[in-house]
Amino acid sequence: MSGGPILVFDSGVGGLSVVEAIRGRLPGKALTYACDNAMLPYGLREDDWLVGRILRVCEAAVKASRCVTLVVACNTASTLALECLRERLSIPVVGTVPAIKPAAALSHSGHFGLLATSATVSRPYTLGLIEAFAVDCRVTRVAADALVREAERWLAGETPDLEVIGRALAPLWEDPALDTVVLGCTHFPLLRDFLAAAAPREIQWIDSSDAIARRTAQVASGVATREAPGESLVTALDPRLIAGLARFGFAPPRLLALG
């Protein structure tokens, strides 16, 4: 076996939605999953602290996994630390951005929603995407940090709280013309069936996973072939993650040494 795996990084389990898309593009290739679950959720933490933390965890995970490509499957981490990671690491780094551009193209009414963490919906980077690609659209931005925990609960085998989901989505339904919703956090696609069930009408749900997978396939080279369940790395051991990670083809997690 030559080369190393693709490393997928997120603050929690949200990046597993990107894992599925990458496997669709690169079937049979080795993947390692790393999450900074000790500091979940990222969306509520200070930017300067987060940049240092993201660099520290990603550098440790890259070293531990001996990966050939890093996929930052987290909108918050990407908008804050992507350029710093690219400066510090010698391997390709693929980032994540909210799917504003495709949403603007696909919305028939010109009114779509952005469902994300509080950090993502208010960050200048996100506002810049809206100005660049959706200037002629109405964009309803909704902070839904509570959905991160519901996605984590779902992966742990628990049923998400439908009342929490309903409250999080409620601001989207004030205008009946809204026909499209961008899932601007990689945790949210894990709840897609629950989100669709809570919607009062048929909605187009859009996320960045396929675009991330497509870019990963373009830049990744020398990726090892998968011969066993992929390795998973965490910053806090949590037995509730074992079954969920196994469902996505990963071995029980081991603690990542940050040094």
Whether 11 shows a pLDDT value over 90: the answer reads: yes
138: left (phi over 0), alpha (psi -120 to 50) or beta: beta
> What is the average pLDDT across 43-60?
92
- pLDDT on residue 46: 87
Residues 47 and 124 in one domain: no
- Averaged pLDDT of the chain: 94
> What is the average pLDDT across 215-227?
92
Residues 133 and 169 in one domain: yes
Task: Please answer whether residues 36 and 235 qualify as being in contact, where contact means their C-beta atoms are separated by less than 8 angstroms.
Answer: yes
Whether 148 shows a pLDDT value over 70: the answer reads: yes
- pLDDT on residue 2: 58
Report the domain count for the chain. Answer: 2
Question: The whole model's pTM is what?
Answer: 0.93
Q: List the structure tokens of 125.
A: 């980077």
Helices 209-219, 16-25: inter-axial angle, 10-degree rounding: 50
> What is the average pLDDT across 147-157?
93
Residues 201 and 219 in one domain: no
Residue environment code for 127-145, b if the CB has 16+ CB neighbours within 10 A, otherwise e: eebbeebbeebebbbbbbb
- 187: nearest Cα among 42, 85, 80, 83: 42
What does the pLDDT look like over 55-102, one tens digit per residue? 999 999 999 999 999 999 999 899 899 999 999 999 999 999 999 999
Domain extent for 171: 100-207
**Using 50, 70 and 90 to split pLDDT, how confident is the model at 50?**
very high
Task: Please answer whether residues 44 and 144 qualify as being in contact, where contact means their C-beta atoms are separated by less than 8 angstroms.
Answer: no
- What residues pair up with 94 in beta bridges, in sequence order? 71
Torsion sign (Cα): 103, 107, 109, 115: negative
195 phi and psi angles, rounded to 5 deg:
-65, -45
Residues 42 and 88 in one domain: yes
Residues 60 and 106 in one domain: no
Number of H helices, E strands in the chain: 11, 10
Q: Does residue 181 fall inside a structural domain?
A: yes
Domain end call among 188, 207, 226: 207
Q: Does residue 173 fall inside a structural domain?
A: yes
What does the pLDDT look like over 170-218, one tens digit per residue? 999 999 999 999 999 999 999 999 999 999 999 999 999 999 999 999 9
Domain end call among 207, 224, 247: 207
Whether 123 shows a pLDDT value over 90: the answer reads: no
Q: What are the catalytic residues?
A: 74, 185
Q: Does residue 127 fall inside a structural domain?
A: yes
- pLDDT on residue 1: 38
Task: Please answer whether residues 137 and 100 qualify as being in contact, where contact means their C-beta atoms are separated by less than 8 angstroms.
Answer: no
- pLDDT on residue 86: 97
Residues 221 and 159 in one domain: no
Query: Tell me, what amino acid is at 116?
Result: A
**Using 50, 70 and 90 to split pLDDT, how confident is the model at 158?**
very high
Distance CA 172, CA 115 (A): 9
Domain end call among 207, 227, 246: 207
Q: Does residue 1 fall inside a structural domain?
A: no
Query: Could you tell me the CATH number of the domain that includes residue 116?
Result: 3.40.50.1860
Please compute Rg for the chain using Cα positions: 18
